[in-house]
Chain A
Amino acid sequence: QSVLTQPPSVSGAPGQRVTISCTGSSSNIGAGYDVHWYQHLPGTAPRVLIYGNSNRPSGVPDRFSGSKSGTSASLAITGLQAEDEANYYCHSYDSSLNSWVFGGGTKLTVL
């Protein structure tokens, strides 16, 4: 039901690398609109991890990186740590809906 499609869950062992995909269409990511990524621990305020496809705000470790190609974007997390266990959401703009749109969220489990 979400406009942007994310895998419901991913997992990895400490120290490993994981990627989370975000697939859109020609009216959002494919139209050139930026993709942003948020990390959310239930009960807390979400925080931005990546803005403008690949930019990290100050304070976000360089273990987090973002990329975009065509109608998709990806969030990569290297050197997985237990504290990375959270829900991750992608976000963009959709010109046909004239609205911000989000992915359904991906739950990252650190094994």
Chain B
Amino acid sequence: QVQLEQSGPGLVKPSQTLSLTCAISGDSVSSNSAGWNWLRQSPSRGLEWLGRTYYRSRWRSEYAVSVKSRITINPDTSKNQFSLQLSSVTPEDTAVYFCGRGRDGYLDYWGQGTLVTVSP
């Protein structure tokens, strides 16, 4: 059974960088058949896919256009986890952030979600 455990601060100041980690058990971040995703949910934007990292002979990342200039998703093979960094945050980045495993075009496992509030 795959489990995803999210961690990271729930409060970030405007203009700073939001950082979250998703620890994986029951699978490997280096899996050749999975992608490791970050999403967020807010009342104003609904559920929004932010990006993914995955390994297919080499590491690759894909990002949503809306955050492409500010986002980095990195794997950490030594800890079997992956991370999200979103820079220059504003109050509009306040949301519940989810990590998720993607296979065959859908998310079959999700993290529990982390509410991140952007406020001074």
Contacts and interface: CB of A to CB of B under 8 A. Distances in A.
A102 B105 contact: no
B41 to A, nearest CB: 8
A48 B106 contact: yes
Contacts of B45: 1
For the residues of B in contact with A, the DSSP-based class is strand
A34 B105 contact: yes
B7 to A, nearest CB: 14
Contacts of A45: 4, 98, 109-113
B106 A34 contact: yes
Given A45-B110, A51-B108, A99 B64 contact: yes
A91 B46 contact: no
B65 A99 contact: yes
A66 to B, nearest CB: 12
Contact of B112 (A44, A91, A104): A44
Nearest to B110: A45
Given A45-B111, A45-B112, A46-B98, A36 B49 contact: no
Given A45-B112, A97-B65, A99-B65, A36 B47 contact: no
Given A44-B112, A45-B112, A99-B65, A36 B106 contact: yes
Given A46-B98, A99-B64, A99-B65, A57 B108 contact: yes
A100 B48 CA distance: 8
Q: Which 9 A-B pairs have the closest CB atoms?
A: A36-B106, A102-B47, A100-B49, A45-B110, A2-B46, A51-B106, A104-B46, A46-B110, A45-B112
